[in-house]
Amino acid sequence: MMNLHGVAKPAYRAFEMLHGLGTEILSTQGNHPTVDSWCVRDGNSLTVLISNFALPRHPIANETVQIQLENARRPDMATIRCVDAANANPKTPWVKMGSPDYLSRAMVDHLDAASAMPEQAQAIAFSDHALLVDVTVPAQGVAANRQEFLSFA
């Protein structure tokens, strides 16, 4: 899950997402041939993990998923982290470097930065105790949408 220089690969970042989910799985509704989702609560946060995967030689496309949380409060913070071809994936910069077998310290630092999975602010809509969030998950990608609340009271 890491290369010999300690640069995290996308699978490592996906496990990192799973590790930070929480402990209380909540029920979800919806059905799609390539999209799966899980809603997990941990203390004062709620994370919706969405994956968009298909077996080899099966059709897949980018998918926009609408998350709708009923009987919700307005979150104090909403963020998203993604693992896909453009996020938390050092392969593209490595290929642009010419796919070198041996890396300099600067190259390793560049790939390490490309492997990072920073939280980004997520736009939300809130109306009538319903929270709506649209998340686009690229083909073969994973996204974790996290809502932080001061309390669930």
Interatomic CA distance for residues 97 and 92, integer angstroms: 9
**Confidence (pTM):** 0.89
Model pLDDT for residues 54-85, shown as the tens digit of each residue: 999 999 999 999 999 998 889 999 999 999 99
Burial state string for 46-83 with b = 16 or more CB within 10 A and e = fewer than 16: bbbbbbbeeeeeeebeebebebebeebeebeebbbbbb
* In the predicted structure, residue 152 carries a pLDDT above the cut 60: no
Q: What sign does the dihedral 66-72-29-142 (CA atoms) show?
A: positive
Rounded mean pLDDT of 89-105? Answer: 95
pLDDT at 143: 97
pLDDT at 73: 87
Q: What separation in angstroms does the CA of 106 have from each of 3, 111, 113?
A: 16, 9, 11
Model pLDDT for residues 114-146, shown as the tens digit of each residue: 999 999 999 999 999 999 999 999 999 999 999
Model pLDDT for residues 7-49, shown as the tens digit of each residue: 999 999 999 999 989 999 999 998 999 999 999 999 889 999 9
Q: At CA 13, angle to CA 10 and CA 18, rounded to 5?
A: 130
* In the predicted structure, residue 153 carries a pLDDT above the cut 60: no
Give percent above pLDDT 90 in the chain: 87
Q: Return the SS3 of 49.
A: strand
Q: Which domains occur in the chain, in start order?
A: 10-148 (2.60.40.1500)
